């Protein structure tokens, strides 16, 4: 059985060894045929704490690691610029 893979953007990195990744899927509305974006948020295990807010990451399904964590971080595809802005300004005002 192949494990599911998803690509999404990190929206929260406040927990220890855990990040929240938002994955967007676009589908057409069945009646109106307009493109509708659905966002699903996954709790992802990040062992090294290497990802930050705004990063584009690849995640893979895994065994249950905690109550809500069922995904693990595979790779960081693109580092986000949000981390750099926050560290330069000293946080959000």
CA nearest to 5, candidates 60, 63, 70: 60
Looking at 1-5, 6-10, 29-33, which range is the least confident one?
1-5
Q: Is the pLDDT of residue 6 over 80?
A: yes
Mean pLDDT confidence for 10-19: 96
Report DSSP state, residue 63: S
pLDDT grade for 73, boundaries at 50, 70 and 90? very high
Please state the rounded mean pLDDT for residues 60-77: 96
- Residue 80 has a pLDDT of 83
- The predicted model scores a pTM of 0.81
Exposed / middle / buried, residue 73 (Cβ in 10 Å: 0-12, 13-18, 19+):
buried
Query: Rounded to whole angstroms, how far apart are CA atoms 40 and 8?
Result: 9
Quick one: DSSP state of residue 85? H
Topology at the third CATH level for domain 5-89: OB fold (Dihydrolipoamide Acetyltransferase, E2P) (2.40.50)
| DSSP for 66-84, written as a single string | SSSEEEEEEEEEE--SHHH
Largest CA distance in the chain: 47
């Amino acid at each position: 059985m192949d494990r599911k893979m998803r690509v999404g953007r990190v929206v929260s990195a406040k927990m220890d060894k855990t990040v929240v990744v938002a994955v967007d899927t676009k589908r057409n509305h069945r009646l109106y045929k307009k493109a509708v974006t659905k966002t699903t948020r996954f709790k992802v295990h990040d062992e090294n704490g290497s990802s930050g807010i705004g990063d584009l990451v690849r995640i893979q399904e895994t065994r249950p690691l905690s109550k809500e964590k069922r995904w693990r971080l595979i790779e960081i595809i693109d580092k986000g610029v949000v981390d750099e802005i926050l560290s330069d300004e000293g946080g959000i005002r």
